[in-house]
Structure 1
Amino acid sequence: MTGNTHTPPTTPTRTAPTPRRVVVVGSGPTGLLLAGDLAAAGVPVTLVEKRPRGISNLSRAFVLHARTLEQLDARGLADDLERKGQALDRIRLFGGLALALDTLPSRFNHLLVIPQYEVEEVLRHRAEEAGVRFAYGTEVTGLRQDAGRVTLEVRGAGGEPDELTADYVVGTDGMRSAVREAIGLPFPGRSVIRSVVLADVRLDEEPESLLTANAVGDAFAFIAPFGDGFYRVIGWHRGRDIPDSEPVGLDEVKEIARLALGRDYGMRDARWMSRFHSDERQAPAYRVGRVFLAGDAAHVHTPAGGQGMNTGLQDAANLGWKLAAVFNGQADSALLDTYQAERHPVGASVVRSSGGIVRLAMAKRPWTRALRAGITAALGRVGPVRRRAVGRITGIGYAYGAPRGAHPMVGTRAPDIALRSGRLYEALRGGRFVLIAPRPYEAGEIGRAGEAGERAGRLAVERWAGGSRTTVLVRPDGYVAWAAGSPDAASVEAALVAALGVPDRS
């Protein structure tokens, strides 16, 4: 006889809450800066990278421009990079034209020649110190999202599938972005230059300039130092349309250099050579729901003007503080829409300008040569034209849109203003807003939002070192959020509430 058995009631199991975090995909300069900014603001961050950990020599970027150096200065990183790199006070373009940088209205009135891997090393150290979790050898294979979260499908180094959930995902994973493909965004554009050769070589003869570049007839060549005795050579010949898979020989690199530069500087001992093509492409949107794109995942263009790495780093500087504010409940999610509104036009401008430089440098037809001569003359003789060109290449000339009726300063880049306590970009450190006033504020004059922002380290209240009568609120990325001449306390408080949010009354 079978006895009765008693099954105890089951206790409902509680599913552990999904941890809140942001996942950044791609550990190039853009991803490293963004991840470091988020982690520094208290946001849990996982940085996913398909490659194993290590320094790559695949970098093609060698230049940091003034606006990027200002952004890095606001993070306390610029001076270290300045010591590692070499300053150059002019940009050489086509037809022997050189644009002087020593009159730039910036602390960094030069460009800094420094290999991309040096920039990555500094940014990686900062991200690690801030607490970013790195997942190397992890490849994104898919993505799905709903109103509340994003789920990344990934494959680890051993081939095992896994999933990562996040509040937001940012794809900084380059031109062949798996994130962009997973959200179904096209990448319209075309290949502009095919069969570009790259080589890392030693030289028997040191070039006369820190950066050497020239185009003659159908050939273009560029030489930049790594700083370890090797030089990166980039070369292109219009008549060679060879697949990227074809091997590169040193003789081919030397021949292109001789055609474009008049000599090959005794190139020898190549440690690495490759071939690639340069595209002009831009995603139509930098945001789809809870997923964002930045850097080469959002836009690619020719290397002319050295704007690629710089534009990506400035994307990250724009998005980071906004994403942190929304994640931390300090701003409405509508703030995230301004990333597309502000950075997409800049990306489009860089695609146009870098492509224009290449086309003019390689001008072959009589009418294009005449156009180049006219532009060269205008840049050399007309001050406003030259300043606009320099401002675009260096990044300091870009401004963001402002509401109708706003003060003329709103949306513009704030220079490194002298304050009673020091410099503006020192005051910006820590991802803070900075309120600059012509006089000290009494207790209560900046309102509850301002006082709460000061206590939380989200706001620094400073005074002009000079005699300006304008009150200015500067965003964490160094652009003016609000300004007014002699505002009353209510106007100041309203501006701070709009920027910092309404403080908790509990």
Structure 2
Amino acid sequence: MEQQVVIAGGGPVGLWLAAELRLGGVSVTVVEERADIDQRSKALTIHPRTIEILASRGVHKTFLAEGLPIPGGHFGMLDDRLDFRAMETPFPFTLALPQARTEELLEDHALALGATIVRGHSVTGFTEHAKSVTVQVAGLDGPYELQAAFIIGCDGTRSTVRTAAGIDFPGTPSTVLGWLGDVTLDNPPRPGFSTFGLRGGVMVAPLPGGRCRMVGVSPDSLTTEWPGDLTLEELRAKTVAITGEDFGMRDPVWLSRFGNTTRLAAQYRRGRILLAGDAAHQHFPAGGVGMNVGIQDAHNLGWKLAATLHGWAPDHLLDTYHTERHPVGAQLMEHSRAQTALMTGFTPEGIALRSLFSGMIATQPALDKALSERLTALAVSYPAPDPSAHPLTGTRAPDLVFTGSENHLFSRLRPDSHLLLDLTAGVLADRTRPGLAVHTATLDRPPAAWATVRAALIRPDGHVAWAGIDEDDTALSAAVDRALDTTHRTAARY
């Protein structure tokens, strides 16, 4: 059985990657060891940049209809929350939606596009060849092999793919054990409730079906010893110690502890083996960013892998997956560690630091904006290969609105081609290359940074590959051709 790509792991990251590859015309098999979707939803939060990604493929409406919009987020469980409402995005909020439902929607999306998903099977190893990979799989009826051009590990922090590839996963061990419980509360606190003090901190978030998720840390969380599985009685005692009441807590459906082990894969690519999501980065789940960063990994990788397999990508393109996403993983480690420090400040000095920092968020809009854009990944920008490039190069393109129609940029993005945005009334409209679409338009109320742009090349993942402002049509046309020579080529299949 031969596929162009095998993905180990059918969580949100693997499913989104599978859909992106199918939209790019690549055959793909997802191998997932779970027979069914895990109903214990580890992730609840979908961030604005991830909603933008969903919108760029036209699949966001169901998420918006089912998710609960929340116009902000917490940083380190501080009293003052970040305010997302002023951010430059069509979706200035997070969506609260259980991971189980997110996986159902993403699986439906991938299957509708023709992805093969096998459940109850697991990747056990692989053998890499010069132009292919032989993947060993343990199936329900015994072991078998899959042949592929590439294998991608989306198989979590204990990744079989990463281990078999010999990719290092350096970092620091757990020193903190947070706790959570999905329970029914007869007397739930106000929406968005959180509190923190010398005895610990706890947050309460609503779940479908009338349940709530309680997440917290306490002084006894600062341990390297495993204290045993969390019980309802322990959760109740911790909650009462911190808040003075238990909110009528009963009927738990999931009780768990989680640590702050922090690790980052040394390489996101080694030959025909690639990593994404938790297989590439592990961290304390502060701010609800983990699943989002993983989906954003997949969004960066999918089009590059498809372009490589179809032969129009330059030779180095697949290597840019590591050079662009590894620094994002490093930033994830940094802000997760910073939030962990704030969430474990159970001393008078720690409380003072929290109070100072929280007050600055509330009174310094620039700090609020900077942290919000970093937490939500709206600030992610990739380095421009040419230092003299336009400042927009590498940045995330906003959802530009075009005059004369209801079209906007996100509706024009495609995973199988760059978009050449021609703002010259058609001077550049005759450009044709594999992996290129051209749209001639005029911007309606462009953002300040786009006011003088006459043409832009937008990558399939929505980041700007090139932008030009030359007023001379001949010079601009030549600049476009030079840019396309760096992003496209015609060649035999990989």
Q: TM-score, normalised by structure 1?
A: 0.89
1:380 matched to 2:380:
no
**Pairwise CA distance, 1:90:** 1.9
Number of residue pairs the alignment of both structures matches: 477
Structure 2 partner of 1:343: 325
4+ residue segments displaced more than 6 Å: none
Structure 2: state its 5+ residue gaps. none
Give the 3 Å change call, closer, same or farther, for CA 231–48 of structure 1 in structure 2: same
**Pairwise CA distance, 1:220:** 2.9
Give the 3 Å change call, closer, same or farther, for CA 501–218 of structure 1 in structure 2: farther
* Matching of residues 139-288 of structure 1 within 5 Å: 139-158=122-141, 160-209=142-191, 211-239=192-220, 241=223, 246-288=228-270
Conserved in 2, the CA contact under 8 Å of 1:235 and 1:253?
no
- Of residues 459, 469, 474, the one that matches 1:475 is 459
What residue identity is the alignment partner of 2:437? L
- Of residues 423, 443, 448, the one that matches 1:465 is 443
Conserved in 2, the CA contact under 8 Å of 1:216 and 1:259?
no
Conserved in 2, the CA contact under 8 Å of 1:330 and 1:501?
yes
C-alpha distance in 1 between matches for 2:29 and 2:300: 19
- Of residues 85, 95, 108, the one that matches 1:102 is 85
Structure 1 partner of 2:418: 433
Conserved in 1, the CA contact under 8 Å of 2:314 and 2:486?
no
What residue identity is the alignment partner of 2:188? E
What residue identity is the alignment partner of 1:235? G
Paired residue secondary structure (1:451)? coil
1:111 matched to 2:99:
no
Q: TM-score, normalised by structure 2?
A: 0.91
Paired residue secondary structure (2:210)? coil
Paired residue secondary structure (1:205)? coil
Paired residue secondary structure (2:259)? strand
C-alpha distance in 2 between matches for 1:473 and 1:194: 45
C-alpha distance in 1 between matches for 2:490 and 2:429: 13
Conserved in 1, the CA contact under 8 Å of 2:13 and 2:291?
yes
Paired residue secondary structure (1:68)? helix
Conserved in 2, the CA contact under 8 Å of 1:90 and 1:101?
yes
Structure 2 partner of 1:5: none
C-alpha distance in 1 between matches for 2:224 and 2:342: 23
**Pairwise CA distance, 1:136:** 1.3
Deviates more, 1:345-354 or 1:228-237: 228-237
C-alpha distance in 1 between matches for 2:389 and 2:38: 46
**Pairwise CA distance, 1:218:** 4.2
Give the 3 Å change call, closer, same or farther, for CA 228–462 of structure 1 in structure 2: farther
Q: Percent identity?
A: 36
Give the 3 Å change call, closer, same or farther, for CA 276–98 of structure 1 in structure 2: closer
C-alpha distance in 2 between matches for 1:343 and 1:408: 20
Deviates more, 1:370-379 or 1:99-108: 370-379
Structure 2 partner of 1:490: 478
**Pairwise CA distance, 1:161:** 2.2
Give the 3 Å change call, closer, same or farther, for CA 366–226 of structure 1 in structure 2: closer
Conserved in 2, the CA contact under 8 Å of 1:218 and 1:362?
no
- Of residues 44, 48, 51, the one that matches 1:69 is 51
C-alpha distance in 2 between matches for 1:152 and 1:98: 46
**Pairwise CA distance, 1:143:** 2.0
Structure 2 partner of 1:316: 298
Cα-Cα RMSD: 2.2
Conserved in 2, the CA contact under 8 Å of 1:419 and 1:462?
no
C-alpha distance in 2 between matches for 1:193 and 1:226: 29
C-alpha distance in 1 between matches for 2:233 and 2:276: 37
Conserved in 2, the CA contact under 8 Å of 1:25 and 1:172?
yes
C-alpha distance in 1 between matches for 2:377 and 2:355: 25
Give the 3 Å change call, closer, same or farther, for CA 177–88 of structure 1 in structure 2: same
Q: Which has the higher contact order (CA 8 A, sep 6+)?
A: 2
**Pairwise CA distance, 1:105:** 0.6
Which string of whole-angstrom CA distances, capped at 9 and with x for unpartnered residues, describes residues 2-37 of structure 1?
xxxxxxxxxxxxxxxx83510011011110000010
C-alpha distance in 2 between matches for 1:155 and 1:440: 57
Paired residue secondary structure (2:179)? strand
1:88 matched to 2:48:
no
What residue identity is the alignment partner of 2:247? Y
Deviates more, 1:148-157 or 1:374-383: 374-383
1:48 matched to 2:31:
yes
C-alpha distance in 1 between matches for 2:225 and 2:440: 57
Conserved in 2, the CA contact under 8 Å of 1:246 and 1:275?
no
Structure 2 partner of 1:10: none
- Of residues 3, 26, 41, the one that matches 1:59 is 41
C-alpha distance in 2 between matches for 1:390 and 1:280: 22
What residue identity is the alignment partner of 1:459? A
**Pairwise CA distance, 1:355:** 1.7
What residue identity is the alignment partner of 2:425? P
Paired residue secondary structure (2:486)? helix
Conserved in 2, the CA contact under 8 Å of 1:220 and 1:256?
no
Conserved in 1, the CA contact under 8 Å of 2:429 and 2:438?
no
What residue identity is the alignment partner of 1:481? A
C-alpha distance in 2 between matches for 1:243 and 1:316: 35
Structure 2 partner of 1:409: 392
1:130 matched to 2:128:
no
Which string of whole-angstrom CA distances, capped at 9 and with x for unpartnered residues, describes residues 253-295 of structure 1?
1122223344322111112323343321111111111101110
Structure 1: state its 5+ residue gaps. 1-17
Which string of whole-angstrom CA distances, capped at 9 and with x for unpartnered residues, describes residues 146-180 of structure 1?
3211122221124x222222101110111111111
C-alpha distance in 1 between matches for 2:242 and 2:39: 24
Deviates more, 1:187-196 or 1:296-305: 187-196
Conserved in 2, the CA contact under 8 Å of 1:438 and 1:463?
yes
Give the 3 Å change call, closer, same or farther, for CA 60–145 of structure 1 in structure 2: same
C-alpha distance in 1 between matches for 2:201 and 2:255: 17
C-alpha distance in 2 between matches for 1:278 and 1:381: 30
C-alpha distance in 1 between matches for 2:51 and 2:79: 26
**Pairwise CA distance, 1:84:** 0.5
**Pairwise CA distance, 1:102:** 0.8
Which string of whole-angstrom CA distances, capped at 9 and with x for unpartnered residues, describes residues 175-207 of structure 1?
111111111122222234544333221110233
- Please identify the structure whose Cα radius of gyration is greater: 1
Which string of whole-angstrom CA distances, capped at 9 and with x for unpartnered residues, describes residues 387-441 of structure 1?
2111100110111101211111000111111123411111114544222232222
What residue identity is the alignment partner of 1:56? D
C-alpha distance in 1 between matches for 2:237 and 2:92: 35
**Pairwise CA distance, 1:89:** 1.0
Give the 3 Å change call, closer, same or farther, for CA 488–95 of structure 1 in structure 2: closer
C-alpha distance in 2 between matches for 1:318 and 1:236: 34
